[in-house]
């Protein structure tokens, strides 16, 4: 408690960290994510929500076993609920909605998050790859050294 009371972080300290290699690595992290959504109407009743949750859990199980997103979407189509899915490609974590970014940030490579309930339905995320800003810097340095 005594030590914590003495610690003071200024705006300049924050700026210095964000401009440091470690800070840039944290803020420039990018993820390659597969995203599937089970659409629900805004006025969905509890039976509809439960049925969509069952489909979402099945999608999680399917994604854990296979990597073909299109096949998972096709196999889980339902006349009542629209299942949409796509490879989102590389995206900075900072450009994703915070509730999705938080889930993705906690995932390991090829790990699938539990279904996320949102106003428009359920979302299922699978982390395919991850890279940080520092990894890109190292690659660029390597290429420059190789040329020299």
Q: Return the domain boundaries, the chain.
A: 30-136
**Max CA distance (Å), the chain:** 65
Whether residue 134 is predicted with pLDDT greater than 60 in this model: the reply is no
| Tokens at 11, concatenated | 């705006």
Overall fold of domain 30-136: Chitinase A; domain 3 (3.10.50)
DSSP string, 84-126: EEEEEEEEEGGGS-HHHHHHHHTPPTT-BPPPEEETTEEEEEE
Cα angle at 141 between 137 and 146, to 5 degrees? 150
| Tokens at 101, concatenated | 């970014």
Average pLDDT over residues 91-103: 87
Q: How confident is the model at residue 137 (pLDDT cuts 50, 70, 90)?
A: very low
Put simply, whether the predicted model's pTM sits higher than 0.85 gets the answer no
């Amino acid at each position: 408690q005594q030590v914590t009371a003495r610690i003071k972080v200024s705006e300049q300290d924050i700026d210095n960290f964000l401009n440091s290699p470690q800070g840039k690595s944290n803020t420039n992290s990018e993820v390659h994510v597969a995203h599937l959504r089970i659409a629900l109407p805004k006025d969905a009743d509890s039976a509809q929500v439960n049925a969509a949750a069952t489909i979402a859990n099945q999608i999680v199980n399917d994604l854990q076993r296979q990597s073909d997103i299109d096949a998972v979407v096709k196999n889980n189509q339902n006349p009542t609920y629209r299942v949409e899915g796509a490879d989102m490609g590389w995206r900075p974590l900072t450009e994703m909605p915070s509730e999705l970014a938080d889930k993705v940030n906690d995932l390991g490579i090829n790990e699938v998050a539990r279904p996320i309930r949102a106003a428009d339905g359920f979302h299922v995320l699978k982390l395919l790859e991850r890279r940080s800003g520092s990894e890109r810097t190292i690659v660029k340095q390597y290429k420059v050294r190789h040329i020299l």
